[in-house]
Amino acid sequence: MIANTITDNPLLIGKGLPPFDAIKPEQVEPAFAELLTKLEAELAQLEANVQPTWSGLVEPLDRLNDPLRWSWGVVSHLMGVKNSPELRQAYENVQPIVVQFWNKLNQSKPIYEAFKALRQSEDWDKLVPAQQRIVESAIKDAELSGVGLEGEQKERFNAIELELAELGTKFSNHVLDATKAFSLTLTTKEEVDGLPPSLLSLAAQAARAEGAENATPENGPWRITLDFPSYVPFMQHSTRRDLREQLYRTFISRASSGELNNYPLIERILELRKEQSGILGFNSYAELSLAKKMAPNVDAVEALLEELRLPSYDAAVKDLAELKAFAASKNAPEANDLKHWDISFWSERQREEKFAFNAEELRPYFPLPQVLDGLFSLAKRLFGVTITAADGTAPVWHEDVRYFQVADETGKPIAYFYLDPYSRPAEKRGGAWMDECIVRAKIMEAGTETTRLPVAYLVCNQTPPVDGKPSLMTFMEVETLFHEFGHGLQHLLTKVDYPGAAGINNIEWDAVELPSQFMENWCYDRNTLFNMAKHYETSEPLPEHYYQKLLAARNYMSGSATLRQIHFSLLDIELHDRYQPGGAENVTDVRNRLAKTTTVIPPLPEDAFLCAFNHIFAGGYAAGYYSYKWAEVLSADAFSAFEEAGLENEPAITETGQLFRETVLALGGSKHPMEVFKAFRGREPNTEALLRHTGLKS
C-alpha cells in the first residue's frame, strides 16, 4: 500500500528537516496530488478574502507557498543527488501539475491587484525597505509571469511554461545518462603511462565497483569515466595521445546523438523562449531575462564582456604560442599543431617545469577534514561564526553526507547546512552547487513568534576517499568548496526575516555570485592556506616553496581561462537575443562564428558543448551566464577592500569582515545589489581589481 496520507507520507510534513531516510519515489505522486488539491482550495480562499496589507496579503501568501517550496525542494534536491529511474518517472509525472499551480498563483489577478493596491496605499510608507522591495518584486514577477495575459495568449504562455519545464528536466537527464554511459577500461601498464597514483586508485576503485573484484592501483584493470575527478586528471597526465583524443572526442560530443540527443531540445527551448518573450512584449528572451537583473540591457552586458575579451584574447594567443614552443622544446611531434586533447597535457607539463610542481603533489596537503577546519577557521576569523559538526542530528540521503551547525559569537545556533562532497556518477549530476533547504523567516507557532533558522545544501563532486585514504583534494577542488560555501554563507548569515528577501532570495541573478567568487580569493591568503594545508599522514604544513609556487602559478594561462568564460557568456547572450530558431544559421554555426574572436583553437566539427550546457538549458542561467563575469567584477573589488586593509592586519580584517557580513551576507535581497555593494565598499565597483587579480593588468 502506498503511503498517501498527511500523517504517513514524509513528503507532506511541509516543514523542518526532510526525513531523507524515509522518503521513497513511490510517495511522490500521492503526496503532490494531495498537497496541490489542498493548496488549490487555500488559493481560492485567499483570492476571495485578500487584503492589500502586509498581514492580509504577503504573510498568508508565504504560508501558502511554504509547504510546496519545501516538498518540491526535497524532490528536486533528490533528483540532483540520488537520481534513479523510479524517482525520475515520479518527478516527470508530477512536474506538470506543480508548474500549472505556480502559473495559477503567479497569474492570480486578485493577488496582483492587491500588491498594486498595497503599493498605492497609505500603509506603503510604514513598510521597511525590505518589505517594499518584496512587494515591488512580486508585481514585476507577476507581470513577467503573464498576469496581464488573457484568453489564447494566456493559454499559450502556460503551455510554453509547462513544455520548457519538461524540456529542462529531459536535457539534464540526457547529460547525466550520456556521462555515465561511457567508460574506458584500461588493462596494460602502457595504457596508464603518466597517470598519477591518485587517479590509478580511483580508476581501480571504479573497476571494482563494476565487478572487477581484483582490480588494484598497481595492476589494474583501471576504469576511466567522463566524470570530472576521472576525466580531468586523465587529460592532464596521460602520455597516450590516442587515448586522450578518444576521451576528449567522447566528452565533447556527450548527449548529441541517438536517444540522448539534446540538439532538438536546444532548438525547441530557444524557439519557445523566443515565443514566450514575444507574448510578454519583449524583443528577445535576453531582454526578458535582463528585466530582473542588475545589467540594464544587452548592450551593457556585451560592453563589459568586450572590455574583458580584448586583453584576454591577446593573452590567450600568447599562452598558446608559449605552449607550442614548450612542446617543441620537448621534441613533441605534435608541437606545431597542438590539438584540443593536447592542451591540458602540455599546459600541465609546462606548469610543472615553470613553477616546479604539479597539481598532484599538493593533494596530500589537502585532505577534506583539514580543508574544512581551515575553511571554518576563516569563517570565524572574518565573520565571527563558529561551525561545528552536527552529524547524526539530521537524516541524510547518503552515508557520506555531513551535517553542520553555525553558531554566532554567543554560541547560539543561527543556521545549519548539509555537505555532500564526493562524486557519485551513477546517481548524482556533475558540477557543484548550493541550494536552499529551509529559508530563514519569522513565523508564528501556537501564538508565539519564533525565528525559523536557515538550512543549506552544499553539493560538490570531488575525489572520494580511496583505499583507506581520506578525500585528497586538488587545489581546484578546494577552490570549488570555498565557492559553494560562499553561496552558503549568504543563505546562512542573512538577517532578513521575510522569506521573500532572506538569503539569496530576491537578489538579482548577476549579483548572486559575489560572495561565492569572493571566498575563492581566500584560498591564496597565507593565513588561510597554512591553516588548512597539512600533510594527511604527517600533519607537516605545506612547505613555503609550494605556497610561493601557487601564488606564481595563480594567473598561469588566466587569459585562456577568462576567454573561455567570455566565449560561453557571449554565446548564451547571442542565442537568446539575435538567434532565429529555424533560420539560416543553426546553433553550431552561431558558436563557430563567435569562436573566431573568443577561442584561439576553433571547436572541432563534432564539438557539441551546447548539448551539455546545463547552466543555460536546464538551470537558471539562460541569458545570464555573463553573471559569473559581472559578479566577478564585484567580488574582486570586494576582496580588494581586505587587501587595502592589510591581509596581515588582524583587527582591520576583523572589522572589514564584520562589515562584509552586515552588508553583503546579511542584507540578502532586501536592497538592490548596487546599494548593498556601496554600503560595503563606499562606492560603485570597477573592473580594475579583477584585471589585476587575473594578471591581465599590472
- Do 233 and 152 form a contact (C-beta atoms < 8 A)? no
On the CB side of 265, CA atoms within 13 Å amount to 30
- Residue type, position 337, single letter: D
Give the chain's end-to-end CA distance (angstroms, integer).
69
Coil, helix or strand for 216?
Answer: strand
Question: In the structure grid, which three cell numbers stand for residue 222, read together?
Answer: 583501471
- Do 176 and 255 form a contact (C-beta atoms < 8 A)? no
pLDDT at 358: 85
pLDDT(4) > 50: no
Q: Is the dihedral of CA 460, 462, 466, 471 positive or negative?
A: negative
Q: Is residue 64 within a helix (H) or strand (E), and if so which, with residue range?
A: helix 59-81
Long-range contacts of 35-42 (CB under 8 A, 24+ apart): 35/11, 35/67, 35/68, 35/71, 36/68, 36/97, 36/98, 36/101, 39/64, 39/67, 39/68, 39/101, 40/101, 40/104
Rounded to the nearest 10 degrees, how much is the dihedral formed by the CA atoms of 631, 634, 639, 642? -160
CA distances to 316, 432, 675 from 663, in Å:
36, 26, 9
- Do 221 and 215 form a contact (C-beta atoms < 8 A)? yes
Question: Which domains, and CATH codes, for the chain?
Answer: 10-148 (1.20.1050.40), 182-250 (no CATH), 259-355+557-625 (1.10.1370.10), 363-504+525-553 (1.10.1370.40)
Nearest to 641 by CA among 657, 661, 663: 657
On the CB side of 555, CA atoms within 13 Å amount to 14
Nearest-5° Cα angle at 496, 618 to 19: 55
Nearest-5° Cα angle at 483, 481 to 487: 115
Question: What's the rounded Cα separation, in Å, for the pair 612 and 577?
Answer: 20
The pLDDT of 500-517, averaged and rounded, is 96
Question: What's the rounded Cα separation, in Å, for the pair 47 and 53?
Answer: 14
DSSP secondary structure letters along 340-397: HHHHHHHHHHHHHHHHS--HHHHGGG-BHHHHHHHHHHHHHHHH--EEEE-TTSS--S
632-653 pLDDT tens trace? 999 999 999 999 999 999 999 9
- Do 506 and 672 form a contact (C-beta atoms < 8 A)? no
Q: Is residue 189 within a helix (H) or strand (E), and if so which, with residue range?
A: none
Cis, bond preceding 221 (omega within 30 deg of 0): yes
pLDDT(100) > 80: yes
Pairing of strands 413-422, 455-462: parallel
Q: What percent of the chain has pLDDT over 90?
A: 95
Pairing of strands 448-452, 441-445: antiparallel
pLDDT at 561: 94
pLDDT at 245: 98
pLDDT band, residue 357 (cuts 50/70/90): confident
pLDDT(547) > 80: yes
330 DSSP assignment: T
Question: What's the rounded Cα separation, in Å, for the pair 675 and 2?
Answer: 51
pLDDT at 698: 59
pLDDT band, residue 467 (cuts 50/70/90): confident
CA 179 to chain centre: 18
The pLDDT of 89-108, averaged and rounded, is 97
224 DSSP assignment: E
Strands annotated E in 125-171: none
pLDDT(504) > 70: yes
Q: Which residue has the cell 554555426?
A: 589
Q: What are phi and psi of 436, to 5 degrees?
A: -85, 135
Question: What's the rounded Cα separation, in Å, for the pair 384 and 363?
Answer: 29
What pTM was computed for the model?
0.94
Q: Which residue has the cell 561551525?
A: 387
Q: Is the dihedral of CA 12, 14, 20, 22 positive or negative?
A: negative
pLDDT at 1: 37
pLDDT at 2: 44
Pairing of strands 413-422, 402-407: antiparallel
Cis, bond preceding 229 (omega within 30 deg of 0): no
Question: What's the rounded Cα separation, in Å, for the pair 444 and 451?
Answer: 9
Rounded to the nearest integer, the mean pLDDT of the chain is 96
- Do 475 and 460 form a contact (C-beta atoms < 8 A)? no
pLDDT band, residue 258 (cuts 50/70/90): very high
pLDDT at 697: 77
Active site residue ranges: 484
Question: What's the rounded Cα separation, in Å, for the pair 68 and 15?
Answer: 10
Nearest to 291 by CA among 282, 279, 299: 282
Coil, helix or strand for 399?
Answer: coil
Residues listed for the chain: 698
pLDDT at 367: 97
pLDDT band, residue 549 (cuts 50/70/90): very high
CA distances to 508, 633, 691 from 686, in Å:
18, 7, 10
